[in-house]
Amino acid sequence: MKVAIDCRGINWYKGTGIGTYTDNILLGLLKIDREDMFYLPWAGDDYKKYKKSNSLFILSSKKHHSFFENSYFPKYLSDENIDIYHIPQNGLGLSDNLSSKLIITIHDLIPYIMPETVGNGYLKKFISCVPKSIYKADKIITVSEYSKKDILRYFPVEEKNVHVTPLAASRMFRPMDKEKCQSFIKEKYNINSPFILYIGGFSKRKNVESVIDSFINIYKSLPVKFSLVIAGSGKETLNELKSKVSSFNMENEIIFTGFLEDDMLPVFYNGCSVFVYPSFYEGFGLPPLEAMSCKTPVISSNTSSIPEVVGDSGLLINPYSKTELGDAMLKLLSSESLLSFYGDLGYERSKLFSWEETAAKTLEVYKKVQADMNS
């Protein structure tokens, strides 16, 4: 079987869910499947770790991506008699001239469900391109049962053609020496007290303002002095959050780290006391799973796909209730035994998810398409 996977997103969307997903399923597929041939549309450098006897790179340019998508790739796929073309980035980048069977991965339908939280450019592109990809696709992969329900709710496609392949945390997310992590964070970031952690984006959908409000509300009730650490980079929304913190004179207690390199993320997950993630909507929600993989107790939302990830191994709250979020933080931070209990519980649950399993389920979808072609 000849399979082409659009891997340009590995570099284009590095550090995002789509980039992480594309990177890990490709590595997983190349590890478990030595029989099929993989043709990989690629943009940028850094492809040596994907070079195998059964991988071939189709180099392209971001500057001329429209030419590659609409002319070069379709002709190449046709000339090479490629059986399947897999587009991992929500079906974006699809040509009308495609001759191969099509598989797309739809991570979520946030532009349909919460359009106010999406940039206008991406919103227009998503709304105009994704329906065409969904209806053209022979199979649709998505990352949670909740996202599958959303797809079936918005698009009249056959349920048997929508397949769920849950995501996983990378192997770098693992338990580490907590005291060493805290000491490193203290030295490099001048964070001296135990802390609550948020890592993620700053879209309104992420509900970071509620994290700040809830922390301010419980701050004086905490058993010892805690800080709130908010990690990640952003623009307008982040500046609004910083202004809010300043208005409460809490700059010393609520710390914005800015962008963290990948190798720092496990250090912060391990160094914190509790990880909070009260997002309103997630197609999957990797950060809670990353924290769980580090044996860190998690407080997250009881909405969308998050219960599929966290289950009963964390405290799930109504993200629209600042009282529930604050009460959950206070409950955990006031009890060492509960912190330990939920840390252990989350860690055990995190073992249910692996990129090897995601890749294996993805390969199963490829084989289903192949079987349909041969029937």
pLDDT in tens, 64-75: 778 888 888 989
Confidence (pLDDT) at 15: 78
CATH architecture observed for domain 2-168+354-374: 3-Layer(aba) Sandwich (3.40)
Average pLDDT over residues 16-37: 94
CATH architecture observed for domain 178-350: 3-Layer(aba) Sandwich (3.40)
Q: Do domains 2-168+354-374 and 178-350 have the same CATH topology?
A: yes
Average pLDDT over residues 125-129: 93
Structural domain boundaries in the chain: 2-168+354-374, 178-350
| Mean pLDDT estimate for the chain | 94
pLDDT in tens, 268-283: 999 999 999 999 999 9
Confidence (pLDDT) at 350: 98
How far is it, in rounded angstroms, from Cα 214 to Cα 216? 5
Q: Buried b vs exposed e over 81-104: b needs ≥16 C-beta within 10 Å?
A: ebbbbbbbbbbbbbbeebebbbbb
Average pLDDT over residues 8-17: 87
φ, ψ for residue 140 (rounded to 5)?
-120, 130
pLDDT classification of 163: cutoffs 50, 70, 90? very high
pLDDT in tens, 71-108: 889 898 999 999 999 999 998 988 888 889 999 999 99
Confidence (pLDDT) at 64: 78
Identity of residue 188: K
Residue 288 is encoded by which pair of tokens? 């809670």
Average pLDDT over residues 36-45: 92
Span of 14-18, 29-33, 261-265, 313-317 with lowest mean pLDDT:
14-18
Of the chain, the percentage scoring pLDDT greater than 70 comes to: 100
Sheet strands side by side (includes 274-277): 254-258, 227-231, 195-199, 274-277, 298-301, 315-317
pLDDT in tens, 304-347: 999 999 999 999 999 999 899 999 999 999 999 999 999 999 99
pLDDT at 13 over 90: no
